[in-house]
Amino acid sequence: MTIHEVDPKIIDKANTWLNGNYDAETKAVVKNMLENDPAELVECFYRDLEFGTGGLRGIMGTGTNRMNKYTVGTATQGLANYLKYSFSTLPEISLAIAFDSRNNSPYFAQIAADVLAGNGIKVFLFESLRPTPELSFAVRHLKCQGGIVITASHNPKEYNGYKVYWNDGGQLVPPHDKNVIDEVYKITNVDDVKFGNDSPLIVKIGKEVDDVYLSMLKSLSLSPDIIARQHDLRIVYTPIHGTGALLVPQALSRFGFNAVTTVEKQMIPDGNFPTVLSPNPEEKAAMAMALDKAKEVNADLILATDPDADRVGAGVKDNEGNYILLNGNQSATLLIYYLIKQWKAKGKITGNEFIAKTIVTSELLKDIAVDNGVESYDVLTGFKYIAEIIRKFEGIKTFIGGGEESYGYLVGDSVRDKDAVISCCMLAETAAWAKDQGLTMFDLLIDIYKEYGFYLEDLISITKKGKSGAEEIQEMMKNYRINPPKVINGQKVTIIKDYQLQVEKNLSTGSETPILLPKSDVLQFFLESGSKITVRPSGTEPKIKFYFGVKGKLNSKNEFDKVNKEMAAQLQSIITSMGLR
Same domain, residue pair 374 and 259: yes
List CB contacts of 357: < 8 A, sequence separation 6 or more: 332, 365, 366, 376, 377, 378, 379, 386, 402, 403, 404
CATH code of the domain covering residue 254: 3.40.120.10
Over residues 222-255, the pLDDT tens digits come to 999 999 999 999 999 999 999 999 999 999 999 9
Window from 51-55, 69-73, 104-108, 556-560 with minimum mean pLDDT = 51-55
Among positive and negative, which fits the CA dihedral 330, 331, 332, 338? positive
Domain assignment of residue 45, yes or no:
no
Same domain, residue pair 148 and 230: no
Domain assignment of residue 247, yes or no:
yes
Over residues 419-462, the pLDDT tens digits come to 999 999 999 999 999 999 999 999 999 999 999 999 999 999 99
Same domain, residue pair 220 and 349: yes
Q: What is the DSSP string of 450-519?
A: HHH-EEEEEEEEEE--HHHHHHHHHHHHHHHHHS--SEETTEEEEEEEETTTTEEEETTT--EEE--S--
Same domain, residue pair 438 and 503: no
Are the CB atoms for 95 and 144 separated by under 8 Å?
yes
Distance, CA of 300 to CA of 322 (rounded, Å):
11
The domain boundary, picked from 173, 205, 237, lies at: 205
Same domain, residue pair 197 and 251: no
CA 421 to each of CA 26, 282, 330, 383, 396: distance values in angstroms, whole numbers, following the listed order: 38, 17, 18, 16, 27
Domain assignment of residue 22, yes or no:
no
CATH code of the domain covering residue 506: 3.30.310
What secondary structure letter does DSSP report for 539? Answer: S
Residue 114 confidence (pLDDT) above 90: yes
Same domain, residue pair 326 and 405: yes
Residue 182 confidence (pLDDT) above 90: no
Pairing of strands 235-238, 301-305: parallel
Q: How many CB atoms lie within 10 A of CB 425?
A: 27
Q: 331-353 burial, b for 16+ CB within 10 Å, e for fewer? A: bbbbbbbbbbbbbeeeeebeeeb
Q: Tell me, what amino acid is at 136? A: S
What stretch of H or E contains 323?
Answer: strand 323-325
Q: Coil, strand or helix: which one is 350? A: coil
> pTM (2 decimals)?
0.93
| Amino acid 540: pLDDT | 65
Same domain, residue pair 448 and 461: no
Sheet-wide strand order for 122-126 = 56-59, 159-166, 146-150, 94-99, 122-126, 202-205
Catalytic residue list: 153
Distance, CA of 263 to CA of 248 (rounded, Å):
13
Distance, CA of 550 to CA of 41 (rounded, Å):
45
Are the CB atoms for 550 and 574 separated by under 8 Å?
yes
Average pLDDT, the chain: 95
Which of 185, 202, 113 lies closest to 150, judged by CA?
A: 113
Over residues 279-328, the pLDDT tens digits come to 999 999 999 999 999 999 999 999 999 999 999 999 999 989 999 999 99
The domain boundary, picked from 161, 183, 205, lies at: 205
Q: Which domain holds residue 195?
A: 72-205
Same domain, residue pair 404 and 471: no
The domain boundary, picked from 426, 452, 478, lies at: 452
Phi, psi of 240 (to 5 degrees): 50, 50
* Mean predicted confidence (pLDDT) in 481-494: 94
